[in-house]
Amino acid sequence: MVVDIDKCTGCQACVVACQSENNVPINEEAHFNQRRAIEWIRVERYWEGEFPDVKARFIPLFCQQCGDAPCEPVCPVYATYHNSEGLNVQVYNRCIGTRFCANNCPYQVRFFNFWEPAWPETLKNQLNPDVTVRSRGIMEKCTFCVQRIRRSSREADKEGEELQDGDRALNPACVNACPTEALMFGNLNNPESKVAKKAEKELRGTTPARKGGRGYHLLDEFGTHPKVVYLKKYDKDAEEAHG
């Protein structure tokens, strides 16, 4: 996944799409007041500068699908593990709710289900039948809409075709919902995919090919090796101020 901060407007369309696609429980005011809200993806807002030149900044946060995930080795029942496709998997019917993984996640993108989820009668028909409704007492997190990946893989195998890069049926819900195309999803192991080319081009490094790129990993100093690449915001005013 590549996230272009320069394109993000903080509209929260990705948050709504994720909630609808993955049967994320409805958050009430009491949940937020108790700091027990569940959002598989959230858009953090922060401010830069001083009044009157203050500017709002936005950054979408979700599971980084770390290559060396600190949440995995602390799970006593192996409910979270790394699969062969590079995804950090969460097995709900194996989780016993110790919350060790959430305590060990530096990105704070794992959520404990404190309540049995409930929806109004008018919204029950909108629940996604491809995604289980998680019960109280387990951990939840972003899975890059793995159900869409599995469905697309099955259909491609059935038709004897290869998965197409950038296929909307394969993309997570947040990617398809973003009106500014700030999110890009694909196969990083395929050097010819759009997301791999973008990540390679923009990642910062010491090699001449990468010098001057906008790419970076969140909390890279922790050595978690995330699979999500963020592209920093281009601020024309700041560039002009620094010459």
Joined together, the tokens standing for residue 25 give 């429980």
Residue 63: partners with Cβ closer than 8 Å, 6 or more residues away: 40, 88, 107, 109, 110, 141, 142, 143, 144
Residue 55, classed as helix, strand or coil, is: strand
Q: What is the pLDDT of residues 103-136, one digit of tens each?
A: 999 999 999 999 999 888 888 888 999 999 999 9
Question: How many whole angstroms separate alpha carbon 69 and alpha carbon 82?
Answer: 8
- Element holding 102 (H helix, E strand): helix 100-104
Identify the pLDDT of residue 129: 92
Tell me the average pLDDT of the chain: 89
Q: Is omega for the bond preceding 73 within 30 degrees of 0, making it cis?
A: no
Angle at the Cα of 216 from the Cα atoms of 200 and 198, rounded to 5 degrees: 30
Q: State pTM to two decimals.
A: 0.89
Question: How many whole angstroms separate alpha carbon 201 and alpha carbon 211?
Answer: 9
Identify the pLDDT of residue 65: 95
Q: Where are the domains of the chain?
A: 2-241
Query: Where are the extended beta strands (E) located within 55-122?
Result: 55-61, 80-82, 88-90, 111-112
Q: What is the pLDDT of residues 200-219, one digit of tens each?
A: 888 855 444 445 688 999 99
Q: What is the mean pLDDT of residues 16-44?
A: 91
Question: How many whole angstroms separate alpha carbon 163 and alpha carbon 154?
Answer: 10
Give percent above pLDDT 70 in the chain: 93
Per DSSP, 158 falls in state H
Q: Which CATH class is domain 2-241?
A: alpha beta
Q: What is the pLDDT of residues 85-102, one digit of tens each?
A: 889 999 999 999 999 999
Lowest average pLDDT, out of 8-17, 64-73, 204-213, goes to 204-213
Identify the pLDDT of residue 204: 57
